[in-house]
Amino acid sequence: MAETESDTLIGQVVHDNLYIRSKIGAGGMGTVYLAENAGLREKKYAVKVLHRTLTDIPAFRDRFYEEARQQARLSHPNIVQMYDYFQVGDDFFLVLEYVNGPTLADLIDTAGGPLPEKQVLQIIREVLAGLNCAHEHGILHRDVKPPNVLIDQDGRARLTDFGIARELGGAARSEAGMTIGTVEYMSPEQIRDPDSVDQRSDVYAAGVVLCEMLTGKLPFDGPTPAAVREAQLARAPPDLRADNPAIHKKLAALVAKALCKDPEERFQGCLEFAKAVDAYAQPPVRLWAVWALAAVLAGGVGYYFFVARPDTLQAVHGHARAAASSYALLCQQLKTLRMKQDGQRLAAEVGDPALASAFARQIAEVRTNMDDFALTYARQITAMAAYDADLVQQALATRPADAEVADRDRYRALTVADYRRVTSGAAPPASRVMAAACPY
């Protein structure tokens, strides 16, 4: 929708009960308005109207509704809740929770330099918590950046603009001539092939955001988008301490790991990243105190059991959560595969060979993505199998605090079953085997 058309919505009631009061802003995906419930004006919403350059894409309707349904399932304190989605005429609407507060980009601009470390650590923890929730539901963000982080009146970070970009990535680029994402925050693999990314691409973007909060600067910048892309692909991350000597070397190393060019060398998920942030933020324990505690608890055995063992358990938990996330992402791709196969069949039925061929290419791309997620899953399962079996069993027997979400329980159960098969001598499951066990 062109901006001049969009502005005619102000003062109108849409979908029977949404009164459009004013325009909040506009971005690559659409225009956002402040709306009120027509019968209860105290209830406010943010209503996003998607650009028609997106909604004119063939087969957009199915992708929009499928991904909107996925996004509506994300209920988390650090994610802006989506309440409804609908179509009126040629326009597509998302009804979101209204957050009355600035964006993280506003905070950085106002500061004109680094934000206070305490505030930075709180914000990045909350951003990572929101991303981890999405990844466990099989949803990638793919456009993590300060303008997409809202800070509410309690100072809590809230992620927005979830979901739609992920499903539109391939189609939007090939059919509308555009790429979803912001190059300053895009991982090298997202720049090379936007349709072949996993949760580690969001880890990279969160690392860029963390760097920007700590230094007031982007780690990779340039006079043109092409120059930024080249820097993202080839230039090593900058030394944060050169820009801000007050940054502790451990924190700088943590950011450097998140910004590794090779996704295998990064944090393997947002949970692992968040735990590293927490470990840095905890007050240091003096070595003599550790040894004294170990001696009191029973010497060397006590040291292993009470000091080293929790760290090892944490590592196993990290592998298990990363494996479950990879499984969830593969299953999400399976849903996309089925939609594209339906599109290919429909194109064949109506006698449109060009459209059928386009769907065939997209199907091949989705299958490649599924194979990549299966490979990542296999690596995590294999890593778990390298630990002491009793230790892994203890870790797997501990149900996560958020496991009341049915999807997470299902993927966790699949991960546990595959771990047991691998430790019995079987190979990690192939992509097709994992797909056959997907819960939908």
| Residues forming the active site | 143
The identity of residue 271, as a single letter, is L
Which residues have a Cβ under 8 Å from the Cβ of 321 and sit 6 or more positions away?
132, 136, 269, 271, 272, 400
Using DSSP's 3-state secondary structure scheme, residue 405 falls into coil
DSSP 8-class letter at 295: H
DSSP 8-class letter at 40: E
DSSP 8-class letter at 199: H
Closest CA to 207 of 274, 152, 157: 274
Q: Are 15 and 21 spatial neighbours (Cβ–Cβ below 8 Å)? A: no
| C-alpha dist (Å) from residue 392 to 104, 412, 419, 423 | 39, 13, 10, 11
Which residues have a Cβ under 8 Å from the Cβ of 188 and sit 6 or more positions away?
204, 232, 233, 261
Q: Are 125 and 278 spatial neighbours (Cβ–Cβ below 8 Å)? A: yes
Cβ count near 188 (within 10 Å): 18
* Half-sphere exposure in the Cβ direction for 189 (13 Å, CA): 21
